[in-house]
Chains A and B, each alone.
Chain A
Amino acid sequence: MTRIVVVGAGPAGIAAACRAAESGAMVTLLDGEPYPGGGIWRHSIDYSVPRPVRNSKEAKNMREKTKISNGARKAKRWFNRLDKVGVSLRTSETVVDITGRSVQVQREQGELDSIAFDKLILATGAHELFLPFPGWTLPNVMGVGGAQALLKAGMPVNPASPRGGVKRLRVVVGGSGPLLFAVAASLAKAGAKIVCVAEQTSGMQLAKFALGILRYQPAKMVQGMGYMLQYFPAPYWPNTWVKEARGDSQVREVVLTNGKRQWIEPADLVACAYGLVPSVELAALAGCKQENGRLVVDNLQRTSIEGFFAAGEITGIGGTDLAITEGEIAGLAAAGKAKETADYTDYTEKEKKQKLKSVKSVVNKLIARRERQQKFARLLNQSFALKPHLKQLPADDTIVCRCEDVTFGELKNQADQRSAKLYTRCGMGPCQGRVCSSALQYLLDWEPNKVRPPLFPTKIGAFISNTESLKRKAKK
């Protein structure tokens, strides 16, 4: 039986695991977080309660109230499928290294374990791009994902005011991309007052995007409108971005700009993100080829390393639906179910279409679907491409590397990421540049630094007991 390890239990990883297991492979699905689902589905199912309770009416009602129903329905379908096929789902297990044909995972308690595989599917997703601006280190300035996570964890957005009544939290959402809608909607739904959504891209680009959605994914338009209605009547300002956050013990107001003039808006919370960047660190550690910060894959989601596949946002930002399709293809291909399908990489568009028509296998259908979804992905990336103005966001005294307190002024004259690391310690803290590295790649056009194991801080004792257990295994 083919042993397949899938890293990342987001939509792509779940789809891959399902398809692979359904094809008869022995599948282990790993995720560093306590619950599966990735950035978007993690909170759709309350995994902290046993399954019978999970499926109870009360639980369902509660979920219905808090969830965006369309996405949640899809999530539920996939979670059910996952439950059925018998995948070994291991959460709170983070992959910290890949050596040969095994992954090293770290459990929450800190111990390491190694899991051998014949085929590996990388579905490590994406993280937000956060660009530093003056004042971003003030309390209550955070990423969009951070705000969403806090909300889901029960952050009060309308705390009781000392003078009686409730004081609705005033929130400025800023940055770029459709994610801003989603977070503004969920914050508004929870009772926060959305001051505005500041989207850096131009109105023209947004109009093109809207037209494109109508063409490729009309359902998404409905979803978007739904979001907008939820935080109505807050304004949605294109061509606008947060220039500065001001405050004392926490943020009090933000300075917004459209490049020509600037103005001030009150804010108790600022949620800001400039889109997503693929999380390619683990793949880089393994040595998979990348291009422009994305993993390079072929028609069957194969990476440059034999037996290693990749799916989802790690191969480029394209949204949940594309991630699922890619996951399905990777799962089938890794399980050896895509053999009948030729590798069409060298074919022309026309030849490809003909082939796809003639061989009506599942994989080919999925490949055709992926092509359609990729069109949407391209539109998405073009429409929300970042303005060059944003490279001027940080001031000289703006901290860029929070772990080591390195300012932009110290960094801007360095030649590259490696020099910055050597001379300023930028990116040498506990987060290992996970936050600042992406920002610097954009701000200063730097290449990413070489990835070194362990990928995440790992208990020293774990290395040792792992060696010992390996030795024991070898002896047996």
Chain B
Amino acid sequence: MLGHRVTENYDVVIVGGGIVGAACAAELSGARLRILVIDAGRVGCGTTGASMGHIVVMDDSEALLNLTAFSRELWLRLAKDSASACEYLPCGTLWVAADAEEMDVVYQKAKNYEEHDIAVEVLDHKSLYQYEPNLAQGLAGGLRVVGDCVIYPPNCAALLLQGIEVRENCNVCQISDNLVSLENGSEIRAEFIVNAAGAAAPKLTAELPVEPRKGHLVITARYPGFCQHQIVELGYLKSVQKMEKESVAFNIQPRPSGQYLIGSSREFAGWDDSINRNLVNRMLTRACDYMPALKEMFAIRTWFGYRPAPMLSCPPPRLASGDAGAGESKNGGDKLPIIGNWPKVKGLYIAAGHEGLGITTSLGTARLLAAEILGQPPPIDPAPYRPSRLFRENK
């Protein structure tokens, strides 16, 4: 094999078989293009396989609301056709307000959602406990977002990739003008290349401002009926201004198996691959503050994943909440994913930086990207997510 280089040709090469890469491939597959998806490991083995699969509309900013709401619509459509493959659970989201101050946020949020035709229900103290009797006493109320749901991400990634050529256990070591170089020495030419390598995307596209932001999850044994919604605290708001290196927020998700996923933690620790026991304990303590009965339940496993966090120095952050929210970043930023043409490399498109919302926003991302590649009208305004916004300062 010495000196012998294989060169293959495809129309589109997508680097990364996570939920984002898979969604992009599925979206482009209708267009009679020769598509290849490459993953260093197996489909969904990255952050996608470590995540919660909460499909949630977020209103941190207008742009985030547009992308998440549009994406949720696409998820509901997908889930309607393949509910069991997706392990679809239409549980809604319940944002919990601890006190009067947080109730004010509930009213603001409700108004914001309703203006965008997102169905919500404001819950007072009493109705909160009617929905979720296992919440701690003394909470003020909450906001129920009816259409939010839960899916099982790795299986969804596999589902999206059905019928598409996928090369697994294949490491890409470089992306240059219309060329993807593999670790085994061979090369692939492609008119379009999509970097959807998640938190590892900057390893292939220098200057891409994405960094890993580690998050832990704990799964419990089976306790069917303990809670009905994905429940997230609003209390995060208070600590948001603090630029903490580590933070936790209460977030619980019912699984169809009767188990519960408990989150969430955020931490800038690079690619550190050990369990941060202290942070996990803090996270569980937070969860038990909100649901004391959790104390009696058994945790059977802990793991973590790396959120692909955008590190932008753009407009100041607005308030964020819960896990699925992008949370505060030490770098501030607009906390939006990076979707679209990368002007510095020929044929390169980016679909990365989805932080803690990539499962939700993958489908919307794919629509935006496909529209750009195929020269079709964009489904929503693509400007807020464009890579070109990152270069503003240089001009």
Contacts and interface: CB of A to CB of B under 8 A. Distances in A.
B52 interface: no
Interface string A432-454: 10000000000000000000111
Interface string B141-157: 00000000000001100
Given A422-B49, A422-B154, A460 B284 contact: yes
A99 interface: yes
Contacts of B296: 459-461
A460 B295 contact: yes
Given A422-B154, A453-B302, A457-B299, A464 B284 contact: yes
A466 interface: yes
A67 interface: no
Contacts of A422: 42, 44-45, 49, 154
A467 B45 contact: no
B66 interface: no
Contact of B42 (A419, A425, A432, A466): A419
A404 B257 CA distance: 9
Given A422-B49, A458-B299, A460-B297, A467 B42 contact: no
Interface in A95-118: 97, 99
Given A461-B288, A467-B278, A415 B295 contact: no
Contacts of A460: 218, 220, 262, 284, 287-288, 294-299
A452 B299 CA distance: 12
Contact of A467 (B44, B275, B281, B299): B281
B295 A461 contact: yes
A429 B281 CA distance: 22
Given A430-B221, A454-B302, A463 B281 contact: yes
B297 A452 contact: no
Contacts of A467: 278, 281-282, 285
Given A423-B154, A452-B275, A463 B298 contact: no
Contacts of B278: 467
A378 B189 CA distance: 54
A401 to B, nearest CB: 13
Nearest to B283: A463
Interface string A77-109: 000000000000000000001010000000000
Contacts of B168: 415
B301 A452 contact: yes
A454 B218 CA distance: 10
A464 B281 contact: yes
B10 to A, nearest CB: 23
Q: Is the interface of B mostly helix, strand, loop or mixed?
A: mixed
Interface string B300-327: 1111000000000000000000000000
A452 B277 contact: no
Contacts of B294: 460-461
B45 A463 contact: no
B339 interface: no
B86 interface: no
Interface in B336-383: none
Interface in A412-433: 415-416, 418-419, 422-423, 425, 428-430, 432
B271 to A, nearest CB: 15
B98 interface: no
A273 B221 CA distance: 28
A428 B222 CA distance: 11
A191 to B, nearest CB: 38
A459 B294 CA distance: 9
B288 A464 contact: yes
B221 A466 contact: no
Nearest to A427: B301
Range for the number of chain A residues in contact with chain B: 20 to 34
Contacts of A99: 277
B155 to A, nearest CB: 6
A417 to B, nearest CB: 11
Given A415-B42, A423-B154, A460-B284, A430 B297 contact: no
A419 B45 contact: yes
Which of A430, A457, A463 lies at the interface centre, i.e. has the most chain B CB atoms within 10 A of its CB?
A: A463
A463 B284 contact: yes
A425 B255 CA distance: 12
A422 B158 CA distance: 10
B280 interface: yes
B221 A457 contact: yes
B102 to A, nearest CB: 23
Interface in A152-192: none
A452 B302 contact: yes
Interface in B127-168: 154-155, 158, 168
B51 to A, nearest CB: 12
A229 to B, nearest CB: 45
Nearest to A414: B42
A99 B302 CA distance: 15
Contacts of B282: 467
Given A423-B155, A467-B285, A454 B45 contact: no
A429 B277 CA distance: 22
A457 B45 contact: no
Interface string B39-59: 000101100010000000000
A432 B285 CA distance: 24
A223 B30 CA distance: 72
B280 A463 contact: yes
B42 A418 contact: yes
A428 B278 CA distance: 24
A165 B11 CA distance: 81
Interface in B247-296: 257, 262, 275, 277-278, 280-282, 284-285, 287-288, 294-296
Nearest to B168: A415
Contacts of B158: 423
A432 B155 CA distance: 20
Nearest to A431: B300
B275 A453 contact: yes
B318 to A, nearest CB: 32
Given A459-B295, A463-B284, A464-B285, A453 B277 contact: yes
A415 B284 CA distance: 34
Contacts of B222: 430
Nearest to A416: B42
A436 B154 CA distance: 21
Contact of A418 (B45, B219, B280, B284): B45
A463 B42 CA distance: 33
Contacts of B155: 423
User: Nearest 8 A-B pairs (CB), nearest first?
Assistant: A461-B295, A457-B298, A467-B281, A422-B154, A457-B300, A464-B285, A463-B284, A463-B281
5 contacts: A432-B301, A460-B288, A460-B296, A461-B288, A464-B284
Given A423-B155, A452-B301, 9 more contacts: A422-B45, A430-B221, A457-B221, A460-B296, A461-B294, A461-B296, A464-B281, A464-B288, A467-B282
